[in-house]
């Protein structure tokens, strides 16, 4: 049996676009003699559709798309994901479903059992779990069809009470097929492979796994769809971070012929669970994920040009370099806005970066605007000493200038704040925290430096001086980040243990960190939730990013 995996980049609610590319892949697979073509979870509408699912019109458009697709399921069977209405009065109104289309009709509809409601997932808000589990018979094969989370309920501490594959095994299937929308993070690639392999080992059946690809605002899908034979050999993997159509031949003995072979010896035997920041990052994957996310955000929003405040610091430099890769240098405008406290080398470093990248840039000194603010505020400030108020005026002046240019010329402002700054509140609301998309908001400061080194891996794009000089906001004389924050070598490790690993102060202190410092850092994180709550969407590259996947109270007293 010839089975095609079609990992594609969908646009939520863009039914015409999604349906067209699904049909094009079906026709391509038919020409190559395919028996089955598999698409990803909720591919018809795009994942995650969130509250669009509450609109009857949205569901009707999903159904119309299924009708259009099934007309092409003649000489080939098609598996697509879409919502399905629940005809039982009790429970949610919809199921998350996989449609098995053949002979130009709907032959079977499989409902998702395990509905993730954690981190970025909120499926139980919309969907009802499956009531029944049945295999699908097609061309002499008995297919166990599942949806994403349905294959993750393994291990010593299962999250759900029902394991769909255990139910399906009673009907003696020959092959497992899973359609997924499994988001990327820098640990999840190996987790995913290990989970799929664990299913194959447990059930002794081959598995075809089709994952979505592309970015949906903050959530990144990396594709990397997989095929395992019944002996748990990884027989093929589709490329990461790009659309792809790949065929596999399932043989009678449960083995798989495929043109892309990856040795099983590279597979982990258990779930990867990195404990430290240093063990976590695959920098090449993170680079690809962020570049794809910027590209998708702009194309799906209908924008083409970005504007970025260029300070001569590491964060803005890395953001500009990533944006130039994603959008083309001509479409990335850098604005240098030196203040009275900016150093000469910061301006020259920022200029050198843009000259190397060949992106347009402007220099707009803010000294006169800043002094005008101070003059107008003098009667109110009443000659009080210089403080954070004067620092934030500079930052908000820059934000105002950037947004003015963005409005005038139709740019999207890319934010340059990193995760360390966002965690500790080291940023100015409506100033350097302004923007339409947080490019580095899920990268700790140390990880930003790793990205800079990766960008410079073949030649010097980011000036070395930007990478080696001490980081500074340059909002007061001789200012350095270390004046307000612990050293990033220590700070980032504490933040990682608290945010990603969800460890409390006692456990973090037991790792050897100074007790008073741990208390101070955790307090900074929790009292600054109000700032993060007003921040723009952040590209998610870690297992626990700020945004929709991390929900904590703004006015909570815990550790604050």
3-state secondary structure of 477: coil
Q: How far apart are CA 454 and CA 385, in angstroms?
A: 43
Residue 551 lies in a domain: no
Residues 296 and 193 grouped into a single domain: no
| Residue (of 118, 120, 112) closest to 183 by Cα position | 120
Residues 345 and 435 grouped into a single domain: yes
Q: How far apart are CA 241 and CA 288, in angstroms?
A: 7
Number of domains in the chain: 2
Residue 502 lies in a domain: no
Residues 384 and 444 grouped into a single domain: yes
Could you say which of 61, 112, 141, 300 is catalytic? 112
Q: How far apart are CA 484 and CA 472, in angstroms?
A: 10
Q: Any bridge partners for residue 309, and if so which?
A: 335
User: Rounded to a whole number, what is the distance in angstroms from the first to the last CA of the chain?
Assistant: 60
Could you say which of 45, 62, 114, 148 is catalytic? 148
Q: What does the longest C-alpha to C-alpha distance in the chain come to?
A: 86
pLDDT at 475 (0 to 100): 77
3-state secondary structure of 130: coil
Residues 470 and 356 grouped into a single domain: yes
pLDDT at 258 (0 to 100): 77
Residue 534 lies in a domain: no
Residue 148 appears among annotated catalytic residues = yes
Tokens of 330: 């001509």
pLDDT at 116 (0 to 100): 97
Q: How far apart are CA 96 and CA 497, in angstroms?
A: 34
> What's the DSSP call for residue 467?
H
Could you say which of 41, 390, 500, 529 is catalytic? 41
Domain that holds residue 84: 2-273
- Spell out, as residue ranges, where the chain has pLDDT lower than 50: 261-272
pLDDT at 57 (0 to 100): 98
Cβ neighbours of residue 418 closer than 8 Å, sequence gap 6 or more: 315, 440, 441, 443, 444, 445, 447, 448
Residue 124 lies in a domain: yes
Residue 366 lies in a domain: yes
Q: How far apart are CA 191 and CA 184, in angstroms?
A: 11
Among residues 255, 273, 291, which one ends one of the domains? Answer: 273
Residues 300 and 256 grouped into a single domain: no
Its sign, for the CA torsion 121, 123, 129, 130, is negative
Q: Any bridge partners for residue 141, and if so which?
A: 138
The three-state (H, E, C) secondary structure of 434-461, written as one string? CCCEECCCCCCHHHHHHHHHHHCCCCCC
Residues 295 and 195 grouped into a single domain: no
Q: How far apart are CA 500 and CA 502, in angstroms?
A: 6
pLDDT at 478 (0 to 100): 80
Q: How far apart are CA 382 and CA 530, in angstroms?
A: 29
- Specify whether the CB–CB gap between 392 and 428 falls below 8 A: yes
Pairing state of beta strands 244-250 and 234-237? unpaired
Give CA angle at 537 (536, 538), nearest 5°: 115
- Cβ-in-10-Å burial (0-12, 13-18, 19+) of 160 comes to middle
Residue 68 lies in a domain: yes
3-state secondary structure of 101: strand
Among residues 434, 450, 485, which one ends one of the domains? Answer: 485
Residues 198-210 as b/e (b if ≥16 CB within 10 A, e otherwise) read bbbeebebbbbbb
- Specify whether the CB–CB gap between 204 and 175 falls below 8 A: no
Q: How far apart are CA 49 and CA 70, in angstroms?
A: 22
Cβ neighbours of residue 207 closer than 8 Å, sequence gap 6 or more: 151, 175, 176, 177, 178, 196, 199, 200, 226, 227, 228
Q: How far apart are CA 479 and CA 488, in angstroms?
A: 16
Residues 184 and 208 grouped into a single domain: yes
Among residues 273, 307, 324, which one ends one of the domains? Answer: 273
List C-alpha distances in Å: 166 to 101, 135, 197: 24, 12, 16
Residue 480 appears among annotated catalytic residues = no
Residues 252 and 103 grouped into a single domain: yes
- Specify whether the CB–CB gap between 474 and 342 falls below 8 A: yes
Q: How far apart are CA 361 and CA 331, in angstroms?
A: 11
Residues 258 and 289 grouped into a single domain: no
Residues 197 and 286 grouped into a single domain: no
Residue 554 lies in a domain: no
Residues 20 and 86 grouped into a single domain: yes
Residue 41 appears among annotated catalytic residues = yes
- Specify whether the CB–CB gap between 149 and 114 falls below 8 A: yes
Please report, for the domain that includes residue 391, its CATH number: 3.40.50.620
Please report, for the domain that includes residue 214, its CATH number: 3.60.110.10
Q: How far apart are CA 226 and CA 151, in angstroms?
A: 14
Residue 204 lies in a domain: yes
Q: How far apart are CA 441 and CA 536, in angstroms?
A: 9
- Give the other-Cβ count within 10 Å of 72's Cβ: 19
What count of residues does the chain have?
560
Q: How far apart are CA 25 and CA 8, in angstroms?
A: 9
pLDDT at 158 (0 to 100): 87
Residues 263 and 317 grouped into a single domain: no
């Amino acid at each position: 049996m010839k089975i095609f995996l079609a990992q594609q980049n969908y646009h939520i609610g863009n039914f015409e676009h999604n349906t067209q590319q699904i049909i094009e892949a079906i026709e391509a697979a038919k020409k190559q003699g395919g028996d089955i073509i598999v698409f990803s979870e909720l591919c018809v509408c795009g994942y995650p559709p969130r509250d669009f699912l509450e609109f009857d019109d949205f569901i009707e458009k999903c159904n119309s798309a299924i009708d259009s697709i099934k007309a092409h399921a003649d000489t080939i069977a098609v598996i697509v994901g879409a919502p399905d209405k629940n005809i039982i009065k009790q429970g949610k109104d919809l199921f998350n479903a996989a449609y098995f289309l053949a002979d130009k009709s709907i032959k079977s509809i499989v409902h998702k059992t395990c509905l993730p409601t954690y981190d970025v997932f909120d499926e139980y808000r919309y969907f009802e779990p499956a009531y029944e589990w049945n295999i699908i018979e097609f061309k002499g094969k008995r297919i166990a069809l599942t949806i994403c989370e349905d294959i993750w309920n393994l291990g010593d501490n299962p999250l759900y009470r029902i394991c769909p594959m255990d139910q399906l095994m009673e009907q003696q299937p020959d092959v497992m097929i899973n359609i997924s929308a499994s988001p990327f993070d820098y640990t999840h690639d190996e987790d995913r492979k290990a989970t799929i392999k664990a299913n194959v080992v447990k059930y002794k059946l081959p598995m075809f796994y089709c994952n979505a690809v592309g970015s949906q605002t903050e959530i990144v899908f990396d594709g990397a769809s997989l095929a395992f034979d019944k002996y748990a050999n990884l027989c093929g993997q589709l490329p990461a971070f790009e659309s792809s159509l790949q065929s596999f031949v399932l043989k009678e003995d449960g083995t798989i012929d495929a043109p892309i072979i990856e040795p099983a010896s590279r597979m982990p035997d258990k779930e990867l669970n990195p404990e430290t920041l240093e063990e976590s990052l695959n920098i090449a994957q993170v680079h690809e994920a962020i570049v794809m996310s910027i590209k998708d955000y702009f194309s799906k929003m209908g924008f083409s040009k970005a504007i970025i405040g260029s300070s001569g610091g590491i964060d803005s430099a890395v953001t500009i370099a990533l944006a130039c890769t994603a959008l083309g240098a001509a479409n990335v405008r850098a604005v240098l806005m030196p203040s009275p406290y900016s150093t000469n080398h910061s301006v020259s470093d920022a200029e050198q970066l843009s000259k190397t990248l060949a992106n347009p840039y402007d220099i707009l000194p803010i000294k006169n605007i800043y002094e005008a603010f101070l003059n107008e505020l003098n009667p109110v400030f009443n000659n009080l000493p210089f403080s954070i108020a004067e620092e934030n005026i500079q930052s908000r002046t820059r934000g105002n200038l950037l947004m003015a240019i963005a409005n005038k010329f139709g740019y999207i402002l890319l934010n340059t704040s990193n995760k360390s700054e966002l965690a500790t509140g080291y940023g100015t609301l409506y100033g350097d925290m302004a923007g339409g998309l947080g490019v580095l908001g899920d990268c700790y400061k140390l990880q930003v430096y790793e990205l800079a080194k990766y960008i410079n891996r073949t030649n010097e794009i980011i000036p070395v001086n930007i990478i080696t000089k001490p980081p500074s906001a340059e909002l007061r004389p001789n200012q350095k980040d270390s004046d307000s924050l612990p050293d990033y070598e220590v700070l980032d490790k504490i933040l990682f243990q608290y945010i990603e690993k969800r460890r409390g102060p006692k456990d973090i202190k037991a790792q050897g960190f100074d007790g008073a410092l741990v208390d101070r850092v955790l307090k900074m994180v929790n009292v600054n939730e109000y700032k993060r709550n007003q921040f723009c969407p952040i590209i998610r590259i870690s297992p626990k990013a700020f945004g929709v996947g991390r929900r904590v109270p703004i006015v909570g007293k815990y550790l604050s």
